């Protein structure tokens, strides 16, 4: 019986991949990877390893979740090192907790290797510090794309709007009009700065900076699309000062 490693690949820049994660990719027997894992990270995989694309993107499902989990169990019975490679961090909106629980229930040895989550890295590469002594001492991470049949019917946007100085939204571009409406209903000012970062940390990274009251129109006018994170709050003002210092 082998072991499964749930590895966070980070947001895309290969330099942000952990040393531990890279080492496991280089000696893996099987790697089951997600759609948002960059090619530069995939190039680190042992050339002799079996590679399986299990990626999920809006409108595209390579493998159903239950099929992916079954594959992990099956491969661990025949191989020593099986890697489940996820974009960002496995435990931040990556379903890593669900997969790990099922593997444990099946009696499979499993270990999580954290990765740098996109909400932190993409914002940093865009010159947006999520905390700042003058602007923000609190951050909330929230998904903008909730699962059907979830334990709660919806995110409590009013509580988030009133309870956090910086809001980081994952997978929210598709539902941005609804999210903006909810935050506005919670009395968040239409003048609140918002920054959208697409393909964060990669060479093709794009940013769209605006205000809560007009960002939906900006997205429609520019054709700005997923995958992207949104940062809402006064810290976005720092983009104009820091955006020219993007890492190489």
Contacts of 241 (CB under 8 A, 6+ apart): 127
Q: At what angle do helices 65-76 and 96-105 cross, to 10 degrees?
A: 50
Catalytic residue among 17, 44, 100, 171: 171
Active site residue 56: yes
Q: Rounded to 5 degrees, what are φ and ψ at 42?
A: -60, -30
**The two structure tokens encoding residue 85:** 């490679």
- 197 - beta bridge partners? 207, 229
Q: Which long-range contacts (CB under 8 A, 24 or more apart) does 155-160 make?
A: 157/182, 157/183, 157/185, 157/186, 158/182, 158/185, 158/186, 160/186
Q: Rounded to 5 degrees, what are φ and ψ at 234?
A: -65, -25
- Strand-pair category, 206-211 with 193-198: antiparallel
Active site residue 100: no
Catalytic residue among 13, 17, 34, 44: 34
Residue 139's H or E segment, with its range, is: strand 139-143
Catalytic residue among 3, 22, 51, 56: 56
Active site residues: 34, 56, 171
């Amino acid at each position: 019986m082998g072991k499964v490693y749930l590895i966070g690949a980070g947001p895309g820049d290969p330099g942000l991949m952990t040393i531990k994660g890279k080492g496991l990719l280089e000696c893996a027997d099987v790697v089951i990877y997600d759609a948002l894992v960059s090619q530069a990270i995939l190039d680190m995989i042992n050339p002799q390893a079996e590679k399986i694309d299990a990626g999920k993107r809006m409108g595209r499902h390579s493998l159903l979740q239950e099929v992916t989990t079954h594959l992990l169990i099956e491969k661990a019975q025949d191989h020593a090192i099986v890697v489940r490679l996820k974009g960002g961090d496995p435990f931040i909106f990556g379903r890593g907790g669900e997969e790990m629980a099922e593997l444990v229930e099946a009696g499979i040895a499993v270990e999580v290797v954290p990765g740098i989550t996109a909400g932190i890295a993409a914002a940093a590469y865009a010159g947006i510090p999520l905390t700042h002594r003058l602007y923000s001492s609190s951050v909330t991470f929230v998904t903008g794309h909730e699962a059907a049949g979830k334990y709660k019917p919806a995110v409590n946007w009013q509580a988030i709007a009133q309870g956090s100085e910086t809001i980081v939204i994952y997978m929210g571009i598709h539902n941005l009009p609804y999210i903006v409406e909810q935050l506005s209903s919670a009395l968040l000012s239409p003048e609140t700065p918002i920054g959208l970062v697409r393909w964060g940390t990669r060479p093709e990274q794009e940013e769209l900076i605006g205000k809560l009251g007009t960002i939906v129109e900006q997205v429609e006018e520019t054709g700005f699309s997923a995958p992207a994170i949104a940062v809402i709050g006064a810290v976005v003002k720092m983009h104009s000062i820091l955006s020219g210092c993007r890492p190489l």
